[in-house]
Structure 1
């Protein structure tokens, strides 16, 4: 039987929602049935750094055939725990920057998957905000302080666009509201979000944006479609989860 470890990002199967169902259906379509010819070992770290580390070690100790790491942070911890176990990376803003692969064309090592290319999309995301917010000159970047490789790219893109950018690191979900409040209070005209914590806490982030009446942009379409963020630009996550064999994904603009 194949032994497959899955290091998720949220705190439970219910919190993973449609992404859990999409990924497990994709396994089923390939003929992998839990308990019949495969053993799936799920771990839910709830976006806590120490739990990512602990669960990565647990999964490696189980000697799986492969580990699916949903986030870049999870993949980094799995790679630290073992440099040989095959890792399939699902969502990472910049796997080269994070030291997971040597390059996108020739990854090398034990990690394979797709890059979200958040670094490359930073300029485009700022340009879309400029279209939505007339005379945008001051922008706040609210980002996950634990793991956000794309933050420097937004700083550089804003500078190139002639926009003042304040980087606001968020160390915990409880700090999200104050990050939006301080941006609005200090006269920033819009907020751009990045990092898996901001996605995991998307309802809280959207509520903070609405409460402070400040336009906000995210990388994940459902944050605009379902949660109340003004707009989004990025990959279609459900397609990414369903196509872990390297098939092309489609982008989404909401």
Structure 2
């Protein structure tokens, strides 16, 4: 065969190969979403928006399987067991659902966790996850101290601070240690009010009431998030200025929050989803921590508590003010 004919034949073969691939149906990725949030899930909306931003069209390029098991551990375990059937490309766990997925090895898992994923045992380190889990953690000891500092700035006369903390939360002791140190350094007395899960929340609120503190700080986690309205109502009834971790607590009536925007975090998590679906391994994708934080003030609650004048000193720094 002459060289010219060979080149023409090879070129035709390559063109035919490209045409054949172009005519093949595009891959439709299946994402298994697991949540303990009550529906509608605001974090799912952020994740979906992030995927759309990256060119995915739901129903065409990607299909969601949505699974909710709010307040039912047995139902959550049953949902997670379905991951073994083998036709899922990516699992995403919202909030405490991650704890139920620690034994999952069949598929890549993305998480957005309020606690410490290393202590939970799903990654070896934040920089090198090393397994099939990666994602984002909201836990930041710097934020824990900053929340106390903000309270002290607003209320210089603060002497005692009730700190409500779910001891089942991975990383809780580190967060409490930092909070205690910062509070004491600012000349105030931290009153530790621990509780182990939702069943002990009543007892914790009773203890917080007896503490007669000047303000209340609640560590952000799945349990306090679910019961955020109840915690906000308790603080108002006790005439306690309250500080929380995320804006959703203020939407429910809390006075103040300082922390990451959760919806934005799930939007960003879609970047990792895209990279994993394209072939990268979770083991090589470092666990991220949010770098942008928002201060939220509920001015309506401030008026109810009679602290509107004190709150006015930080309104210019607030990212969001709830009237």
SS in 2 for 1:11: coil
Deviations 1:93-124 (Å, cap 9, x if unpaired)? Answer: 22122212112222211111122133442222
Residues 119 and 55 (structure 1), Cα distance of their counterparts in 2 relative to 1, 3 Å cut? farther
Q: Name the structure 1 match of 2:174.
A: 153
Matched, 1:19 2:43: yes
Aligned partner (choices 292, 297, 301) of residue 250 of structure 1: 292
**Is contact 1:176–1:205 with CA below 8 Å preserved after alignment?**
no
Q: Name the structure 1 match of 2:315.
A: none
- In the alignment, the residues of structure 1 paired with residue 31 and residue 99 of structure 2 have an alpha-carbon distance, to the nearest angstrom, of 18
Matched, 1:168 2:194: yes
Matched, 1:112 2:134: yes
Residues 68 and 157 (structure 1), Cα distance of their counterparts in 2 relative to 1, 3 Å cut? same
**Is contact 1:219–1:233 with CA below 8 Å preserved after alignment?**
yes
Moved more, 112-121 or 190-199: 112-121
Moved more, 231-240 or 193-202: 193-202
Residues 63 and 129 (structure 1), Cα distance of their counterparts in 2 relative to 1, 3 Å cut? farther
**Is contact 1:180–1:209 with CA below 8 Å preserved after alignment?**
no
Q: Name the structure 1 match of 2:35.
A: 8
SS in 1 for 2:218: strand
Matched, 1:216 2:239: no
Give the number of equivalent residue pairs: 246
- In the alignment, the residues of structure 1 paired with residue 241 and residue 196 of structure 2 have an alpha-carbon distance, to the nearest angstrom, of 18
RMSD: 2.5
Residues 60 and 252 (structure 1), Cα distance of their counterparts in 2 relative to 1, 3 Å cut? farther
Q: Name the structure 1 match of 2:151.
A: 129
**Is contact 2:193–2:204 with CA below 8 Å preserved after alignment?**
no
Greater helix proportion:
2
- Ranked by relative contact order (alpha carbons within 8 Å, sequence separation 6 or more), the top structure is 2
User: What stretches of structure 2 of length at least 5 have no aligned partner?
Assistant: 1-27, 273-287, 297-323
Show structure 1 runs of 4+ deviating over 4 A.
175-178, 246-249
Residues 50 and 144 (structure 1), Cα distance of their counterparts in 2 relative to 1, 3 Å cut? farther
Q: Name the structure 2 match of 1:36.
A: 60
**Is contact 2:113–2:136 with CA below 8 Å preserved after alignment?**
yes
Residues 232 and 215 (structure 1), Cα distance of their counterparts in 2 relative to 1, 3 Å cut? same
SS in 2 for 1:96: helix
Matched, 1:77 2:104: no
User: What stretches of structure 1 of length at least 5 have no aligned partner?
Assistant: none
- In the alignment, the residues of structure 2 paired with residue 178 and residue 78 of structure 1 have an alpha-carbon distance, to the nearest angstrom, of 29
Q: Name the structure 2 match of 1:238.
A: 263
Shift of 1:10: 1.0
Matched, 1:102 2:124: yes
Deviations 1:8-31 (Å, cap 9, x if unpaired)? Answer: 22132x2x2x33322222223334
TM-score w.r.t. length of structure 2 = 0.68
TM-score w.r.t. length of structure 1 = 0.84
Deviations 1:131-160 (Å, cap 9, x if unpaired)? Answer: 233343432222335x41242123312432
Aligned partner (choices 199, 207, 229) of residue 182 of structure 1: 207
**Is contact 2:141–2:178 with CA below 8 Å preserved after alignment?**
no
- In the alignment, the residues of structure 2 paired with residue 167 and residue 212 of structure 1 have an alpha-carbon distance, to the nearest angstrom, of 15
Residues 133 and 52 (structure 1), Cα distance of their counterparts in 2 relative to 1, 3 Å cut? farther
Deviations 1:191-246 (Å, cap 9, x if unpaired)? Answer: 2212212112222221121122112111102322x222111111111211111125
Shift of 1:83: 2.3
**Is contact 1:126–1:157 with CA below 8 Å preserved after alignment?**
no
